Amino acid sequence: MATIIDGKKVAEEVLAECSREIEELKVHGITPGLAVVLVGEDPASQVYVNSKVRKCAELGIHSEKVVLSKDASQDEVLATVKRLNEDAAIHGILVQSPPPSQIDEEEIIRTIDPAKDVDGFHPENVAKLALEDPSGFVPCTPAGCMRLLEASGVKTSGADAVVVGRSMIVGKPMALLLMARGSDATVTVAHSRTEDLAEVCRRGDIIVAAVGIPEFIKKDFVKQGATIIDVGINRVEDPAAKRGYRLCGDVDYKDVFEKAGAITPVPGGVGPMTIAMLMKNTIKAAQAL
Ligand code: NAD
213 Cα nearest atom in ligand 1? 32
Query: Cα-flanking dihedrals φ and ψ of residue 199, to 5°?
Result: -65, -40
194 Cα nearest atom in ligand 1? 20
Which residue among 145, 211, 233 has the greatest number of ligand 1 atoms within 8 angstroms of its CB, and so is best to mutate?
A: 211
Q: How does pLDDT run across 79-100, given as a tens digit for each residue? A: 999 999 999 999 999 999 999 9
CB of 224 sitting under 6 A from ligand 1: no
Q: How does pLDDT run across 122-179, given as a tens digit for each residue? A: 999 999 999 999 999 999 999 999 999 999 999 999 999 999 999 999 999 999 999 9
Residue-level pLDDT at 102: 97
Of the candidates 195, 192, 193, 206, the one whose C-alpha atom is nearest the C-alpha of residue 163 is 206
Residue 83: how many CA atoms within 13 Å on its side-chain side? 11
Residue-level pLDDT at 1: 87
- pTM greater than the 0.95 cutoff: yes
Residue-level pLDDT at 202: 98
Burial class (CB in 10 A: 0-12, 13-18, 19+), 273: buried
Nearest CA to ligand 1 atom 18: 192
Query: Cα(252) to centroid of ligand 1, in Å?
Result: 15
CB of 264 sitting under 6 A from ligand 1: no
CB of 45 sitting under 6 A from ligand 1: no
Residue 257 has pLDDT above 90, yes or no: yes
Residues with catalytic roles: 52, 96, 119
Query: Cα-flanking dihedrals φ and ψ of residue 237, to 5°?
Result: -60, 135
Residue 240 has pLDDT above 90, yes or no: yes
Nearest CA to ligand 1 atom 42: 141
Is the CA virtual torsion 35, 61, 120, 85 positive or negative?
A: positive
Which residue among 14, 192, 281 has the greatest number of ligand 1 atoms within 8 angstroms of its CB, and so is best to mutate?
A: 192
Q: How does pLDDT run across 182-214, given as a tens digit for each residue? A: 999 999 999 999 999 999 999 999 999 999 999
Residue 289 has pLDDT above 90, yes or no: no
Residue 42 has pLDDT above 90, yes or no: yes
CB of 273 sitting under 6 A from ligand 1: no
Q: How does pLDDT run across 222-233, given as a tens digit for each residue? A: 999 999 999 999
Inter-residue contact 56 to 34 (CB < 8 Å): yes
In this structure, which amino acid lies at residue 126?
V
User: What does the alpha-carbon distance between residue 33 and residue 30 come to, in Å, rounded to a whole number?
Assistant: 9
What residues contact 155, with CB distance under 8 A and at least 6 apart? none
